[in-house]
Amino acid sequence: MALLNFAQRQHLPIWDDPRESIYHDVVIDTQACDGCKLCVVVCPGNALELVGEKGAKKSRVKDGQRGCISCNNCQAICSHHAIEARQYYDFAGYYKQMGLGEFSPPRRF
């Protein structure tokens, strides 16, 4: 992230206005999801939850998904490739995103 200049800061965003704020878009394939809950555990923004009957639970994005911070932990940890992150978050205002690219694969330890 980089600081905006004075002219760019003259406009303060309204976070509920879709023209001012773009939230991360996470899509979960419920057919591929086995309900292991790993994505829910690793999500630092608490944007995912496990729902459904016992034995048939599936992950889903919580209503509003405002907690997603585009960390890509969920996509990296899913062994069934059931989660796809399609868009980065971006807010108009004091900071701007720089150098956004493709997600990196998880590191091996």
Q: How many domains does the chain have?
A: 1
Q: Quote the tokens at residue 97.
A: 């995103």
pLDDT at 74 over 60: yes
**Higher local confidence (pLDDT), 98 or 89:** 89
Q: Give domain status of residue 19, yes or no.
A: no
* Portion of the chain with pLDDT greater than 90, in percent: 6
Q: Give domain status of residue 10, yes or no.
A: no
Q: Give domain status of residue 59, yes or no.
A: yes
Torsion of CA 46, 48, 51, 56, to 10 degrees: -130
State residue 32's pLDDT score.
92
28-48: pLDDT as tens digits = 898 999 999 999 999 888 888
State residue 26's pLDDT score.
82
Burial of 83 (0-12, 13-18, 19+ CB in 10 A): buried
Top-confidence range, 18-27, 32-41, 54-63: 32-41
State residue 72's pLDDT score.
82
Q: Give domain status of residue 85, yes or no.
A: yes
Range of the domain at 57: 30-98
Q: Give domain status of residue 82, yes or no.
A: yes
The CATH number of the domain holding residue 64 is 3.30.70.20
The pLDDT confidence band at residue 59, using thresholds 50, 70 and 90, is: confident
CA distances from 51 to 43, 66, 82, 103 (A): 16, 18, 15, 27
Q: Residue 67: which residues within 8 A CB-CB, separation 6 or more?
A: 43, 45, 46, 47
Q: Give domain status of residue 3, yes or no.
A: no
- What is the chain's mean pLDDT, rounded? 75
State residue 103's pLDDT score.
64
Q: Give domain status of residue 50, yes or no.
A: yes
Q: Give domain status of residue 104, yes or no.
A: no
